[in-house]
């Protein structure tokens, strides 16, 4: 029923639970680094890094990033190639490019000061409705909502919403309901409380309803089996892609790598030269001479929408890859300082090239 009414719950139902959420959050929040010092820049960077990424895997990247880029000016002053190693392994590299562009916007348009106006901040590259709400509420205290995957789950269970949350009607209801909750004291804490609850209590599977501050009001629980919510849409499986890549060394033993163009998959990341297809033929098309004998190894790497089967061949020669941003031979000792894509990292390890297990360890 809630989505069809498209109205937030009445205030007198909302306020006691709002207080319960804030009390629960004050007691049970995780001590995350950006909560120690919630400056606009730190909150912004944390929100970008956390997009579609678990908090636990962000923390290390966040600390290294902030040590090297303590403010928008520091990021605006470097080029993308300097930034990429700090993002390598975190995924979704357009986030890094957009943040870099946005930092330059802040410097040129706002004198280096992050705008506190939601309209202005929301116009920056890579800042969508969620990130705008998060930074504006957490760092500036504006009473604006956030709706992320956690909030969707919490609200759909709380109000027993069985319709697909991706539909426009439910989206409107979600933002309106989250907006009503955020419209009060401590909007940043309230927003974080909803997300924290979704991340630690109202989890996708096996929610801990017994310790939930909303349990008595939860309509999804009252209706039975809150775990069925939110309704999930069936997703397509990844498309299978066969790729051949080459381990080609110079006379000095340096390894030929190519850097992907910024746009597209693994944008800006270094990779072993290769192409779609099976066997040595795709590599010969790159001007490489493939050694006789069996391939050096095989690895698989699954993205959201593609499943790569990578075959590594020993080869000689300098690769000629159409559209590459850069082609260069690197000594093995220098590989750790490069932004290496996931599939290449796996392939190098598979064929015995030592690469540090630690990811995102940018030079400082």
Partner DNA sequence: AACTCGGGGAT
Partner DNA sequence: ATCCCAGAGTT
Rounded to a whole number of angstroms, the minimum distance from the CB of residue 222 to DNA is: 21
Site string for DNA, 272-301 (x = CB under 7 A): -----------------------------x
One character per residue 219-238, x = contact with DNA (rule: CB under 7 A): -------------x--xxx-
Let me know: does 312 contact 272? Beta carbons within 8 Å. yes
Stretch 114-153 residues interacting with DNA (CB under 7 A) = 125-132, 134, 148-150, 153
**Region near DNA per CB under 7 A, out of 91-99, 154-162, 288-296, 309-317:** 91-99
- Cβ nearer to DNA, comparing 10 with 205: 205
Which one of 47, 119, 252, 278 is the catalytic residue?
47
Q: Minimum Å distance from CB 252 to DNA?
A: 28
Give yes or no: 322 in active site.
no
The nearest distance, CB 60 to DNA, in angstroms, is: 10
Site string for DNA, 246-275 (x = CB under 7 A): ------------------xxxx-x------
336 is written with which tokens?
């750790």
3-state helix, strand, coil in the chain (%, to 5): 45, 15, 40
Q: Are 258 and 341 in contact (CB under 8 A)?
A: no
β-bridge partners, 39: none
- Nearer to DNA by Cβ, of 131 and 177: the residue is 131
What span, in angstroms and rounded, lies between the C-alpha atoms of 190 and 182?
6
User: How far is residue 93 from each of residues 46, 210, 317, measured CA to CA in Å?
Assistant: 15, 39, 30
Closest to DNA by CB, 128 vs 253, is 128
Kindly state the helix (H) or strand (E) to which residue 310 belongs, with its residue range.
strand 306-316
Largest CA distance in the chain: 76
- Least distance between DNA and beta carbon 354 (Å): 16
Torsion of CA 135, 129, 45, 186, to 10 degrees: 20
Chosen residue from 82, 183, 275, 303 binding DNA by CB under 7 A: 303
Is 78 or 123 the residue whose CB approaches DNA more closely?
A: 123
Name which of 129 and 249 has its Cβ closer to DNA: 129
x/- letters, 322..351, toward DNA (CB under 7 A): -------------------xxx--------
Contact 33, 59 (CB under 8 A): yes
Considering CB under 7 A, how many residues would be counted as binding DNA?
A: 62
CA contacts within 13 A on the Cβ side of 345: 18
- Phi/psi region, residue 125 (left: phi>0; alpha: psi -120 to 50; beta: rest), is beta
Q: Which is nearer to DNA, 152 or 215 (CB)?
A: 152
Q: In what order do the strands lie in the sheet with 326-330?
A: 270-271, 255-259, 326-330
174 phi and psi angles, rounded to 5 deg: -60, -45
CB nearer to DNA: give 201 or 255. Answer: 201
Q: 254, 326 in Cβ contact below 8 A? A: no
- 108, 167, 216, 298: residue in contact with DNA (rule CB under 7 A): 167
Residue window 21-60: x/- pattern of binding to DNA, with contact defined by CB under 7 A: -----------x-xx----------xx--xxxxxxxx---
Give the C-alpha separation, 298 to 359, whole Å. Answer: 22
Query: 291 near 314, Cβ under 8 Å?
Result: yes
Where do contacts with DNA occur on this chain (CB under 7 A)?
A: 32, 34-35, 46-47, 50-57, 89-94, 98, 125-132, 134, 148-150, 153, 167-168, 192, 195-196, 198-199, 203-206, 232, 235-237, 264-267, 269, 301, 303-306, 341-343, 359
Looking at the annotation, which residues are catalytic? 47
């Amino acid at each position: 029923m809630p989505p069809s009414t498209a109205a937030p719950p009445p205030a007198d139902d909302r306020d006691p639970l709002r207080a319960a959420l804030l009390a629960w959050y004050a007691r049970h929040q995780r001590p995350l680094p950006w909560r120690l010092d919630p400056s606009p820049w730190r909150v912004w960077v944390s929100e970008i890094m956390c997009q579609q990424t678990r908090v636990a895997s962000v923390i290390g990247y966040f600390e290294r990033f902030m040590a090297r880029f303590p403010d928008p000016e520091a990021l605006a002053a470097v080029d993308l190639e300097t930034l990429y190693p700090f993002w390598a392994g975190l995924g979704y590299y357009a986030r890094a490019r957009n943040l870099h562009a946005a930092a330059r916007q802040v410097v040129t348009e706002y004198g280096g000061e992050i705008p506190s106006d939601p309209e202005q901040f929301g116009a920056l590259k890579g800042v969508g409705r969620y990130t705008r709400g998060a930074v504006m509420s957490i760092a500036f205290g504006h009473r604006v909502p956030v709706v992320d995957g956690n909030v969707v789950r919490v609200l759909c269970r709380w109000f027993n919403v069985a319709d697909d949350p991706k539909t426009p009607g439910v989206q409107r209801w979600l933002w309106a309901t989250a907006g009503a909750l955020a419209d009060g004291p401590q909007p940043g804490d309230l927003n974080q409380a909803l997300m924290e609850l979704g991340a630690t209590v109202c989890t996708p599977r096996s929610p801990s309803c017994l310790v939930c501050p909303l349990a008595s009001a939860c309509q999804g629980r009252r209706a039975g089996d809150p775990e069925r919510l939110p309704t999930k849409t069936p997703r397509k499986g990844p498309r299978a892609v066969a790729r051949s890549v080459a381990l080609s060394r110079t006379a000095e033993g340096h390894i030929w790598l190519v850097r992907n163009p910024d746009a597209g998959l693994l944008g800006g990341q270094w990779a072993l030269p290769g192409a779609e297809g099976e066997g040595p033929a795709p590599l010969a098309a790159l001007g490489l001479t493939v050694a006789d004998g069996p391939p050096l190894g095989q690895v698989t790497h699954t993205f959201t929408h593609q499943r790569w089967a990578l075959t590594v061949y020993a080869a000689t020669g300098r690769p000629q890859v159409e559209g590459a941003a850069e082609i260069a031979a690197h000594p093995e000792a220098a590989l750790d300082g490069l932004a290496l894509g996931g599939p290449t990292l796996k392939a190098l390890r598979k064929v015995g090239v030592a690469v540090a297990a630690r990811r995102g360890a940018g030079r400082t």
